[in-house]
A and B are shown apart, each in its own frame.
Chain A
Amino acid sequence: MTGHVVPVRVYVGIFLALLVLTGLTTGVAFVDLGPWNTVAALAIAGVKMMLVALFFMHLRWSSSLTRIVVLAGFFWLAILIAFTLTDVGTRYWSPTPQGWTAPTPAPAAQR
């Protein structure tokens, strides 16, 4: 009574793919792509995570309940980061972007 047994060559294939991706992400970091560097690094890390999760952790052959649990984990992390960024990101937007005008001179100055 064994769960889903995965052939060795699939495991080794995934292992090599992960090594290649590691090399790729390190290499890409040495190329100046401006903001795209971060996007590339995260995208590659995401692909590597999917490979490990789907094949090494057997997510591909496990019940939909397990998949929902995993998605819930990442969704809640996204909630935490996204909502905190709504504050940090918009903190320095001043409500009225029009310029500043000097205060009417205080009454004392008039006399």
Chain B
Amino acid sequence: MAEAAIPRAAEHPPYLAHHFSDIEQQNEAGTLGMWVFLVTEIMFFGGLFAGYTIYRYLYLPGFEAGSRLLEVQFGAINTAVLIGSSLTMALAVRSAQLGRRKALIGFLVLTILLGLVFLGVKFNFEWIHDYHEHLVPGMGFSHPGPHEPAIQLFFCFYFFMTGLHALHMIVGVGIMAVLIAMAARGKFDGGHYSPIEVSGLYWHFVDIVWIFLFPLLYLVGGRY
């Protein structure tokens, strides 16, 4: 059988999968694969955004009343925290590109920390607080007032959307941990940074989802 076609082990770096002809093709495939996956995520969150838009159109006063029950300062802080983690992630990708392992690990750790801060603020200061305020649908929701059913609908959306987003954050933090372990073992030294770049795309996407969630949930109809 002709061996020339299949690159021999010498020019066959460990991270080049057998079915790709060269590293360029593998990287492009990885990036395109992640972007296509992010499109499926846009549609996945899209189902909830569509439902939110319809009910906001139908019950605007109720949604505005529901939105005012949320603390906007925690939302703003969380947005800033997440944008910060996007910065550290971008810097992590950059240091991976330049092959600086220590900086890469440092920025990845920073990204995880900021992610955990976001989840901490979300869980301790918002969800627990809402639970005590009886604002969690299905767990003793009661908010007597004119728009009671519409407010409950709003909180259904609030918990579904932020819950799904938090789930994606947890998965992202898990990915970062794996990357740190691999980086520590020097897997990304030889200029092979595609896994970092792809995880970065995922993380930035989760940040973009929150960039839309924050105004739609916290600022709908204004705070005056």
Q: Is A25's CB under 8 angstroms from B98's CB?
A: no
Q: Which residue of B lies closest to A6 (CB)?
A: B94
Q: Is A15's CB under 8 angstroms from B87's CB?
A: yes
A76 close to chain B: CB less than 8 A? yes
A106 close to chain B: CB less than 8 A? no
Chain A interface size band reads 35 or more
B50 close to chain A: CB less than 8 A? yes
Q: Is A69's CB under 8 angstroms from B32's CB?
A: yes
Q: Which residue of A lies closest to B192 (CB)?
A: A1
Q: Which residue of A lies closest to B55 (CB)?
A: A88
B224 CB contacts on chain A under 8 angstroms: 30-32
B153 close to chain A: CB less than 8 A? no
Q: Is B72's CB under 8 angstroms from A49's CB?
A: no
Name B197-224 residues within 8 Å CB distance of A. 197, 200-201, 204-205, 207-208, 211-212, 214-216, 218-224
Rounded to whole Å, the gap between the CB of B97 and the closest CB of chain A is 4
B104 close to chain A: CB less than 8 A? no
Q: Is B32's CB under 8 angstroms from A73's CB?
A: no
Rounded to whole Å, the gap between the CB of A22 and the closest CB of chain B is 5
B223 CB contacts on chain A under 8 angstroms: 29-30
B42 close to chain A: CB less than 8 A? yes
B38 close to chain A: CB less than 8 A? yes
B47 CB contacts on chain A under 8 angstroms: 80
Q: How many residues on B have C-beta within 8 angstroms of the other chain's C-beta atoms?
A: 55
Q: Is B57's CB under 8 angstroms from A52's CB?
A: no
B54 close to chain A: CB less than 8 A? yes
Q: Is B191's CB under 8 angstroms from A41's CB?
A: no
Q: Is A2's CB under 8 angstroms from B204's CB?
A: no
Q: Is B215's CB under 8 angstroms from A15's CB?
A: no
B interface, CB within 8 angstroms of A: 23, 27-28, 31-32, 35-36, 38-39, 42-43, 46-47, 49-50, 53-54, 57-58, 72, 75-76, 79-80, 83-84, 86-87, 89-91, 94, 97-98, 191, 193, 197, 200-201, 204-205, 207-208, 211-212, 214-216, 218-224
Q: Pick the 8 closest A-B CB pairs, nearest first.
A: A41-B215, A73-B39, A29-B219, A73-B42, A77-B46, A15-B87, A32-B224, A2-B97
A interface, CB within 8 angstroms of B: 1-3, 5-6, 8, 11-12, 14-15, 18-19, 22-23, 25-26, 29-33, 37-38, 41-42, 44-45, 48-49, 52-53, 55-57, 62-63, 65-66, 69-70, 72-74, 76-77, 80-81, 84-85, 88-89
> Please, could you name 21 A-B residue pairs with CB atoms under 8 Å apart, sorted by A?
A12-B87, A15-B83, A18-B83, A22-B76, A26-B72, A30-B222, A30-B223, A32-B224, A45-B212, A49-B208, A49-B211, A52-B204, A57-B200, A62-B31, A72-B39, A76-B43, A77-B46, A77-B49, A81-B46, A81-B50, A85-B53
